[in-house]
Amino acid sequence: MPYPRNDGPDLDDDGPLDENASYRVTASELRSFVERIERMNADIEELRGCRKEVFAEARGRGYDVKAVRALIALRRKDPAKVSEQEAVLHLYREALGDV
């Protein structure tokens, strides 16, 4: 779906840019969207910092963080797809004599 172009006048708090347009752009609504997204971005950065601290704590307790990350990635996947992937990997390793 193409986005409407904004080739018109400056944003206006009181109404649309073009009376014939099928959409309305107001400065207050746009500001609200931008500010909400900015708050979400700040929350995401805070969570990334918290996640980094948890990984550092796990590393400090002797866990292999790379393996923990791989485990987290596996838990996100569909169990049937994980089983299928593991079966194919096992088959290939057998074919190469690595098992």
For the chain, what are the domain ranges?
12-63, 64-99
At 17-68, the pLDDT tens digits run 555 556 788 999 999 999 999 999 999 999 999 999 999 999 999 999 999 9
Sequence-ordered list of residues with C-beta below 8 angstroms from that of 69, at least 6 positions apart, any chain: 55
Q: Count of residues for the chain?
A: 99
Does the structure show a pLDDT above 80 at 78? yes
pTM over 0.75: no
Helix/strand/coil for 13? coil
pLDDT at 1: 46
**Helix axes of 65-76 and 27-60: crossing angle, nearest 10 degrees:** 130
State the pLDDT confidence band at 73, using cuts at 50, 70 and 90.
Answer: very high
